[in-house]
A and B are shown apart, each in its own frame.
Chain A
Amino acid sequence: MSALAYTRYELLRTMRNRRFFILSLGFPLVLYFLIAGPTRNVHNFDGTGVSAPMYFMVGMIAFGTMSSMLSCGARIAAERAVGWNRQLRISPLSTRSYFRAKVLTAYLVALLSMAVLYVSGASLGVSMSARDWLEMTVLILLCLVPFAALGIAIGHMLTPDSIGPAMGGGVALLAFLGGTWFPIPSHGFLHDVGQLLPSYWLVQASHIALGGHPLGTKGWIVIVAWTLVLTAVARRAYRRDTGRV
């Protein structure tokens, strides 16, 4: 019995879904060049201290990787719709292995999305030390943990019909309030709301270029709190979800 084999087949299935890849990798890419192309020579974008290509690179990464993590939910919903979820329930596959396969697959897609945008960013003049690239990557991956839990939760709560709009709307809202499209003002209502969202801190990872710790204590508290809450929700959603859909 090998849970790794299950993960391997999950990855294989995801890689074969060509339409999914074109959309989830291509869309942020096109947006990036549309937004960051014209502002490629802005070195201190809107007072953030970060260049525009850098700011939008991480912004689009936030948008793309959030979508990747939540698309894990879309795949779960599709599996539930054909009853596969119940078929897995009557196999010895543990909940842990099931979650692990889903999360690893989502992360793989997120990593690909990041790689594509890193290359695009570099082509518009984003440059950092290898150490900063690495540190930023790790930060982004950590900030994505709550989104992994969110993806699993919505996958077990929504139907394939409703998950599309829910994901599209949810990601757009989180991206907007997180400062993906333009920097959130440094004070005021939007700022206060944004700081409570994990997407805000995901975008803040771009400040790695300025040195120091972009997230700070506040950022980590928000990420950890969302992770705990959403993991509990995902667990509960999975447990309750044994009926025929």
Chain B
Amino acid sequence: MTNAIVATGLRKSYGSIEAVRGIDISIDTGETVALLGPNGAGKSTTIDMILGLAEPDDGTVSVLGGSPSAAIDAGWIGAMLQTGALIRDLSVEELIAMVASLYPQPLDVKDALEQTGLKEIAGQRTQKLSGGQTQRVRFAVALVSNPKLLVLDEPTVAMDVEGRHSFWATMRGQAALGRTILFATHYLEEADAYADRAVLMAHGRVVADGPPTEIKAMVGERTIRATLPGADLDALAHLPGVSGAERRGEAVVLACADSDVAIRALLATYPEARDIEIAAAGLEEAFLQLTGDEGVAQLAGAPS
């Protein structure tokens, strides 16, 4: 198996801000990899370097066996960048046809429109689309190039639930065709559901790299929230599976290392608990505990 992307010792600063502080990533062809991390983790800067849009201050990137610009000139990369609207005064179909004309072996324009669910709005002008429709057109722009490597920077931002669903369904099909896919996201659930592997970034470094389930276990603490007036916080914190407890008005919020064990223990001890919610802690929340260099060092030292 050959490498689609090999990044070694990448660093990039913008002024005094160190956006990327030395990362190593290697992605095999055919893999679907999520670049996971909160805002400001350095995901977009890393992607810019992989695409040759930013020159690394230090380190090297190789894409499909050569430089990023060689891969781009060969038409092997399709990308959906994070920033972006569309140029105006073209219909959706014309825009996709224009992009297709730039590539040596593009998909058929009609096929690309069909696959991205744009057939119904093919005749509409690009400046008259909704946010979700715009995102789908941008996806079609990336896809119509018929790329070996598909790079998507937070593709589902601005999509509604239904849009997300059909977007990921299309993506699955693309992965099945053998394309290598790298997507950035700050949703742990997206990485978990659609990637073979997740690379977790924080503060410009890779802090974990492995199957999404492992990453999930590392950061995926859950919380149980229940209305339980007058309960003893100290006793709650000592329930099996619970790592911490705090009061929020009438309710208590339990941070759980193992929410399955904790919910059984909670109900056995406090049958009067009601309005129970169990939720996965978001990445942002998980990183809240890990911010600062200490947290990063701790995570970086963890097995992946």
Contact = CB atoms under 8 A, between A and B. Distances in A.
B87 A90 contact: no
A13 B81 contact: no
A165 B83 CA distance: 26
A79 interface: yes
A133 interface: no
A87 B84 contact: yes
B52 interface: yes
A6 B94 CA distance: 11
Given A12-B90, A12-B94, A92-B75, A86 B101 contact: no
Interface in A7-53: 9, 12-14, 16-17
B73 interface: yes
Contact of B102 (A16, A79, A91, A243): A91
Interface residues of B, number: 32
B102 A1 contact: yes
Nearest to A75: B87
A92 B87 contact: no
A98 to B, nearest CB: 10
B240 to A, nearest CB: 49
Nearest to A245: B83
Contacts of B51: 90
Interface in A185-228: none
Interface residues of A, number: 27
A205 to B, nearest CB: 32
A89 interface: yes
A242 interface: yes
Contact of A5 (B53, B73, B87, B101): B101
Interface in B13-63: 44, 48, 51-54
B52 A92 contact: no
Contacts of B88: 13
A20 B88 CA distance: 13
28 contacts: A1-B102, A2-B101, A6-B98, A9-B97, A9-B98, A12-B90, A12-B94, A13-B88, A14-B89, A17-B89, A78-B87, A84-B86, A86-B53, A86-B83, A89-B52, A90-B72, A90-B77, A90-B79, A90-B81, A91-B72, A91-B99, A92-B75, A92-B103, A242-B54, A243-B53, A244-B44, A244-B48, A245-B83
The 5 closest A-B pairs by CB, nearest first: A5-B101, A83-B84, A82-B85, A83-B83, A9-B98
Given A17-B89, A244-B83, 20 more contacts: A1-B101, A5-B97, A6-B98, A12-B94, A82-B86, A83-B81, A83-B83, A84-B84, A86-B84, A87-B141, A90-B51, A90-B72, A90-B79, A90-B81, A91-B103, A92-B75, A93-B102, A243-B54, A244-B44, A245-B83
